[in-house]
Structure 1
């Protein structure tokens, strides 16, 4: 068994931060097309196949919170219902759409005539608390310990 050292961890964190910085240089459509930046995927490392139903609902909301993150950072990013399954094989589409139809998850959404899928600003805090991911400048509404990662956290 190979021992992981502090230097190994630092190198991994530095690589992740470099990749995040590079991602920020892309336009919205390129970010949206980069599968490694999203949660609704089916890869050897991350797959919705390994998620239970609750984890899948949280991953859907987390993806929508991330879309809000990119929009707040000036990225023009169209996001529609069909984008939820863009990185998934057809056999997994119905599972995602079933999770997406959950009434609790639906309660976070803004109804838009243009077909865009967005979290309703009134329910953004609820959505972040549900999925366990908070946008910069936002805070969880809990006294429990949470993990917050971002620039400068080492």
Structure 2
């Protein structure tokens, strides 16, 4: 998924959950949680030197990619578990938002044809529930749908 799709789908998911009766987000998201969600939504791609974040943090991105590869540890089931756990445990909205964004990113990539290594480092094979290919028309539809949802919510 492209970075802008990760941003839009993570934000839409957070707004959707904040509007639901589930006690996932208490009340309004706020600027701190929103900023955290957007950072977390692109953070797992620090492992790809050509990603939006990787180009801005080249030395760190290069090291992580060299050690773990793209969609390695930063996209693993362990990272997903830690992100969900952190989101549910942290009281600080900014850091809880980062955790939510990371979880949203990994979950979105799980639905790509590329998949994610859920059992990394024990097993590097990627798991996928393929709905879209990165850069495909389906991803564009997902992006536009998330964007439309956000616009409708914020305009009303």
Structure showing greater relative contact order (alpha-carbon pairs closer than 8 Å, 6 or more residues apart): 2
Flag the structure with higher helix content: 2
TM-score over 0.5 (shorter chain)? no
- What TM-score does the superposition give when structure 2 sets the normalisation length? 0.27
- What TM-score does the superposition give when structure 1 sets the normalisation length? 0.27
